[in-house]
């Protein structure tokens, strides 16, 4: 299972990564259907994921995504010149949620799966940022090399 999950993360396919995470969250919501706090947190994560899937579709269309860009004009609503939209917020909060799970009660295999899910969410976030840059016509600056670093 972990190897398949790792392959999904390495694929960089944001749709596949999000669909896989949606399956995990839906299963966890069912598992914790009777627990109030856990279910609420999971449902919030699932809601954030569904909004993120919609934003992924928007970010692929530069015309559509420009409207999202214009809605995030305040400096606090931007990171690196790009909107910190609901998708970016989801990636951060969901990765934190995975880190904060009570790993003391998990088996080593369960911990490894949680760690891989977190890595996959980070991979999806990087892909999303690249899609934002492409939609807004921005290129990433090339990393500084050699003599330029000595100045």
DSSP string, the chain: -HHHHHHHHHHT-HHHHHHHHHHHHHHHHHHTTT-HHHHHHHHHHHHHHHHHHHHHHHHTSHHHHHHHHHH--SGGGEETTEE--HHHHHHHHHHHHHHTS-GGGS-HHHHHHHHHHHHHHHHHHHHHHHHHHHHTT--PPPPP-GGGGG-
For residue 44, is it within any domain? yes
Model confidence at 141: pLDDT above 80: no
Query: Structural domain tally of the chain?
Result: 1
For residue 147, is it within any domain? no
Q: Which of 62, 138, 129 is nearest to 92 (CA)?
A: 129
Structure tokens at 100: 């904060």
pLDDT in the model for residue 96 = 93
- At 63, is the pLDDT very low, low, confident or very high (cuts 50, 70, 90)? very high
For residue 143, is it within any domain? no
What is the residue-averaged pLDDT of the chain?
Answer: 88
The pairing of strands 78-79 and 82-83 is: antiparallel
Percent of the chain clearing pLDDT 90 (strictly above): 70
For residue 125, is it within any domain? yes
Query: What mean pLDDT comes out for the span 71-75?
Result: 93
Q: Higher pLDDT residue, 103 or 95?
A: 95
Query: What's the angle, vertex CA 13, arms to CA 11 and CA 14, rounded to 5?
Result: 135
Range of the domain at 122: 8-137
For residue 118, is it within any domain? yes
For residue 50, is it within any domain? yes
Model confidence at 117: pLDDT above 60: yes
For residue 151, is it within any domain? no
Structure tokens at 64: 């559509």
For residue 27, is it within any domain? yes
């Amino acid at each position: 299972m972990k190897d398949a999950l790792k392959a999904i993360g390495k694929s960089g396919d944001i749709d596949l990564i999000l669909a896989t995470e949606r399956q995990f969250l839906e299963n966890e919501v069912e598992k914790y259907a009777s627990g109030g706090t856990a279910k609420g947190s999971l449902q919030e994560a699932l809601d954030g994921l569904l909004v993120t899937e919609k934003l992924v579709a928007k970010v692929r269309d530069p015309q559509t995504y420009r409207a999202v860009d214009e809605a995030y004009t305040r400096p606090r609503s931007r990171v690196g010149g790009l909107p910190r939209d609901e998708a970016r917020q989801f990636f951060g909060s969901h990765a934190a949620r995975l880190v904060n799970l009570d790993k003391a009660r998990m088996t080593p295999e369960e911990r490894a799966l949680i760690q891989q899910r977190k890595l996959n969410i980070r991979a999806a976030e990087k892909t999303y940022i690249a899609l934002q840059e492409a939609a807004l016509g921005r290129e990433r600056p090339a990393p500084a090399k050699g003599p330029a670093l000595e100045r």
